[in-house]
Amino acid sequence: MVFLRSIPPRAVWLPPVLFLALAVMPGAVFAQEESTLPEGYAGTEACAMCHEDVVEAFKKNRHYQLESNLKRGWKDRSCESCHGPGAKHAESAAAEDIRNPLKLKPVDADQGCLSCHRNQPTQIGRLQNGHARSQTACTSCHNVHKTGAESTAVIQSTAAGVVKQCASCHTDVWASFQKPHRHRINEGVMKCTDCHNPHGSNLAKNVRTVHANEPGCLKCHSDKRGPFVYEHAPVRNQPCSVCHEPHGSSNPRMLTRHEVANQCLECHANLLSPSPAGVAGGVPPAIHDLRQPRWRQCTMCHQKIHGSNVSRGLLR
């Protein structure tokens, strides 16, 4: 208020001029930034001079937000955020003067993507991941320049798109899904990434986790989670795949054996438990006369095989 009172009455033009100056100043700074690219960089406008179609298509890409995002540090250089400094390439127009992630070694291509995407929760298990181990680059699954139906965002938003993409490498798994008893991948109601995190997980086979550290299978089969008063030990200290073949099986319960009796008796075959070999199991009581069909379907009686709250023999 003292400051305002100190303004001469005739200087009423001062506030609007100050206001205008304030309004114009950022613009001036903005303009200055626009014209000042770091050394070696050419800017997106320069890229568009030759690659106009690519840049136009790129405008529909999520990465294009870098072009105007001040906080990410790639303003007006969104192309060069992946392709590296392009001033030399802009002058020479030579392919070897610009970085093409598709033609780089996987590790170098990945480092480019990870420079922004490393700090994402999905990358936590990256090093344990089979994809990282086998040098599968990010660009193997994610394309940046495709738009419309060919874009990664659209392909990976449908179950069929994800399955097709995964099946192109994991052909043996795709073959398992052609067996009669399998998860509903072929019906389009499930997709590979419902169960697996392709970026990595702390579980084997990149199996997703739910409820922090429980296997992802329990997301849909939450009745198997427990805890149970009587646990079946392998359900807790082994992965589900020790008994089940989730991709496809000839067994109606997707077991890894053709009949449930074989599945059970292969473990429950020790007179002493643990056996001298140190493995657990034990033998079922002698009433289990396998010559009668009644006893060959173990889970017909041991129906709470994943764990029971009532019966130590997992009967109810």
Partner 1 sequence: MKRERMRWLLAALLAVSLNAQEVTEAKPEAKPEAAAESAEEEAAVVTADSPVRGVIDVGARWVKEPLGDFQTYRSIVNLGQGIRLSNLDLNIEPTGFKLFDSMRLAGSNWGGDPYNTLRMNLEKRNIYRFDGTYSNIAYFNYLPSFANTQATGAFFNQRAYDTQIRNIDNEFQLFPGTRFTPYLAYTRNTDFGNGITTLVADRNEYPLRNLIRWGQDTYRGGIRADFGRSHLTVEHGGTSFRDDQQVFSTERLTGNRGAATLVGQSLFLTDGRQAYSMRGDGRFTKVLFVANPYDWVDLYGQVLYANPRTTPGFFQNTMGNLNDATSGLLFFSRGFDTLFGDARRPHTSGTFSMEIRPHSRIRIREMYETDRIKTDSSAMLSTTLLTPTSSLGRQTGFIDRLEASHTRQTVEGLVDVHRRLTLRAGYRYEWGDSVFRGGVLNQINPQERINLERHVGLAGIQARPWDRLTINVGAEVSNGVRTYYRTGLQDYHKIRAQVRYRLTDNLNFNGVHVRLDNQNPAPGVDYKFLAQSTSMNVQWLPRGGSRFSILADYTRSSIRSDIDYLEPHILQPARSLYVDNAHTGSLLADLNLRGSGVVRPKLTVGGSFVRTAGSRPSSYYQPTGRFLLPVTEKVHFYSEWKWFGLAQPFYLFEGFRTHMIQTGFRFNL
Please give the residues from 70 up to 89 whose contact with partner 1 meets the rule CB under 8 A.
71-72
What is the smallest separation between the CB atom of 90 and partner 1, expressed in angstroms? 19
Phi-psi region of 6 (alpha: psi -120 to 50; beta: other; left: phi over 0): alpha
Residue 246 CB, nearest approach to partner 1 (Å): 14
Candidates 108, 84, 111, 109; CA nearest to 98 is: 84
Which of 33, 91, 150, 259 binds partner 1 (CB under 8 A)? It is 259
**How many residues in total does the chain contain?**
316
Instruction: Name residues whose C-beta falls within 8 Å of residue 261's C-beta, 6 or more positions apart in sequence.
Output: 290, 295, 296, 297, 298
In the complex, least distance from residue 2 CB atom to partner 1, rounded to whole angstroms: 25
265-268's contacts with Cβ under 8 Å and 24+ in sequence apart are 267/234
209-210 vs 214-215, strand pairing mode: antiparallel
Pick the stretch among 1-9, 75-83, 88-96, 165-173 that binds partner 1 (CB under 8 A).
Answer: 165-173
Q: Which of residues 9-28 bind partner 1 (CB under 8 A)?
A: 12-13, 16-17, 20, 23-24, 27
Query: Rule CB under 8 A: which of 196-255 touch partner 1?
Result: 202, 209-214, 219-220, 222-223, 225-231, 233-234, 236-238, 242, 250-253
- State which of positions 29-68 bind partner 1 (CB under 8 A): 65
Of positions 41, 174, 196, 240, contacts partner 1 by CB under 8 A: 174
Q: Looking at beta carbons only, is 29 or 220 nearer to partner 1?
A: 220
Residues 264-293 that bind partner 1 (CB under 8 A): 265-293
Residue 5 or 252 having the CB closest to partner 1: 252
Interface with partner 1 (CB under 8 A), residue from 169, 208, 241, 244: 169
Q: Does 175 bind partner 1 (CB under 8 A)?
A: yes
CA nearest neighbour of 156 among 107, 194, 117: 194
**Separation of alpha carbons 177 and 63, rounded Å:** 35
* Distance from C-alpha of 233 to C-alpha of 220, rounded to nearest angstrom: 21
Find the binding residues for partner 1 in span 92-151 (CB under 8 A): 103, 105-107, 114, 118-121, 123-128, 130, 133-135, 148
Q: Which residues of 12-51 are buried (b: 16+ CB within 10 A; e: fewer)?
A: eeeeeeeeeeeeeeeeeeeeeeeeebeeebbbbebbbeee
Torsion angle of the four alpha carbons 288, 292, 295, 296, in this order, in degrees rounded to the nearest 10: 120
Cβ closest to partner 1, residue 90 vs residue 267: 267
Nearer to partner 1, 2 or 8 (CB): 8
- Residue 253 tokens read as 């319960």
